[in-house]
Structure 1
């Protein structure tokens, strides 16, 4: 076991403390988290599409999350603070093509988009320029790969149930079979998370907050029998996304 001698100077102790602190931080920063194509964390490297390293004490925030393709090419840099165990994005976030070229950058302030979103085609041509203030879009322009301006469209359109929230609630009300044992005047909630793929199909249904088995099974059954959703669209392309949905049993 390594021990400091009492005769060693305070300054030497200080330097040793710095060295050990640096080793501790470096070890933490090298923790590698593997993810699948939908950015869901995996227990092993097998079937991973990406990996990320979380570094404490980023320039603009408490943490820097750097995501890489499996060949080590950087995919994204996202800084954030942790407030009550919730991520609050801060600073300039950058995303890259697999070729290593900058895809887009977007600044955040206290968890809100705030500033200029600049996106580029892989050949370096500007793809879009949006201006946000506290999450509110102020103005924006979009161009094709040849540099010709297009009709404006939002860079991100969230996934949605066909017809919107009212249609979703109507579907749930019509299709949920209420367990007979539930007492009148009571409410039971099940929260599920699932993937909506680029074609709008639902998969990878998980129970985040469960209830007695009958409620969990009924919630999963209803989701499995839903029609296709409108998939999430980012930068004009349909992409997979994870979605959380509460199912309320009210009698």
Structure 2
């Protein structure tokens, strides 16, 4: 009798797993979706929510089968992360462990060195929600550093206080040292960076984590700024970008005839001069829709480039383009 009950239970569990449909996708590391497993750098599996849940299970694997990502999402494209989220390197070592709410990191987050040693702990604010409308508001744009240790295990920041110093290499050309004081989890006072070659350095001044001013000298040129980083931006703003897309987009006749709609994901690089390059489809819907989304972005005007510490840098940007019959 016990054997019969065990067999029935096993069959029930197997049927339950089968009932939870899942989709498998193949991706390159630059975010481009490919059709063949042999062409992929990693594999993404999205499984339908468990009974009573609204969140999809998200799993990613390196091509050798090693786990890369484990988490949950509330939307498939673009991915909106929810709840516990962990990443691993190809050696199976944990790289980070964070918690998401409405696609934004909240609460305490842990980050690790490639050997699995704890590097830092950060505290992120919770997304704020308007009580009347239920609409999410942007959270404060800063996190608190709680703990930081160098690669030897020496703790430099504890309980949000300490003197931070880090030396790193950028590419194969130069070495940089960044240093400054943390107080109550935030940068304070003077922070400075200097390259080993001496051709790149900056000084930045902070109060409670907010930059007051920065000055950078690189290759003999001086840059004055008030933000550590600036995202790329369409020359006249995001609203005008969608106006540009809406005005120029043509719904392909074959997609109209077949009633096909959906959101095409595009990924591209905004160069230092604002040019859009390396454009690719990261989420495919239908060939003609993919091609039309690609066309409209390929011909778009220049953007304002992203900046780091006052100077333009190359930044990869992701953009959804929606085709809808109610558009």
TM-score bracket, shorter-length normalisation: 0.5 to 0.7
The CA distance in 2 between the partners of 1:142 and 1:53, in whole Å, is 39
Deviations 1:19-73 (A, max 9, x none): xxxxxxxxxxxxxxxx99xxxxx97xxxxxxxx998836799453259xxxxxxx
Q: CA deviation at 1:227?
A: 1.2
Q: CA deviation at 1:230?
A: 1.5
Whether 1:188 and 2:225 are equivalent positions in the alignment is no
TM-score, normalised by the number of residues in structure 2:
0.42
Change in 2 beyond 3 A, CA 1:151/1:238 = closer
Q: 168, 172, 175: which one pairs with 2:248?
A: 175
RCO higher in structure (CA 8 A, sep ≥6): 1
Q: CA deviation at 1:99?
A: 5.5
Q: CA deviation at 1:131?
A: 3.4
Q: 158, 182, 187: which one pairs with 1:115?
A: 187
TM-score, normalised by the number of residues in structure 1:
0.53
Q: CA deviation at 1:142?
A: 2.5
| SS at 2:234 equivalent | coil
Q: CA deviation at 1:186?
A: 8.3
| SS at 1:166 equivalent | helix
Alignment of 1:91-240 (within 5 A): 91=148, 95-97=168-170, 98=172, 100-104=174-178, 114-115=186-187, 118-121=192-195, 122-123=197-198, 127-131=202-206, 137-142=210-215, 144=217, 151-180=224-253, 181-182=255-256, 188-240=262-314
Find the counterpart in structure 2 of residue 250 from structure 1.
324
Moved over 4 A (4+): 52-55, 57-62, 78-81, 88-94, 97-100, 105-108
| SS at 2:303 equivalent | coil
| SS at 2:113 equivalent | strand
Unmatched 5+ stretches in structure 2: 1-28, 31-39, 42-88, 97-108, 122-142, 149-163
The CA distance in 2 between the partners of 1:106 and 1:216, in whole Å, is 47
Q: 84, 93, 103: which one pairs with 1:56?
A: 93
Change in 2 beyond 3 A, CA 1:250/1:233 = same
Deviations 1:184-237 (A, max 9, x none): x98521111111222222222121111011111111111111112122222232
Deviations 1:139-172 (A, max 9, x none): 3442547xxx974432322111110112101100
Aligned CA RMSD, in angstroms, stands at 4.6
Change in 2 beyond 3 A, CA 1:53/1:186 = closer
Deviations 1:60-99 (A, max 9, x none): 9453259xxxxxxxxxxx9579xxxxxx997477543555
Change in 2 beyond 3 A, CA 1:107/1:169 = farther
Q: CA deviation at 1:125?
A: 8.4
| SS at 2:304 equivalent | coil
Task: Tell whether the 8 Å contact from 2:216 to 2:309 is kept in structure 1 after alignment.
Answer: no
Aligned residues between the structures: 178
Q: CA deviation at 1:126?
A: 5.6
The CA distance in 2 between the partners of 1:79 and 1:138, in whole Å, is 24
Change in 2 beyond 3 A, CA 1:102/1:174 = same
Relative to its length, the structure with more strand (as a share) is 2
| SS at 2:265 equivalent | strand
Which sits farther off after the overlay, 55-64 or 186-195? 55-64
The CA distance in 2 between the partners of 1:217 and 1:106, in whole Å, is 48
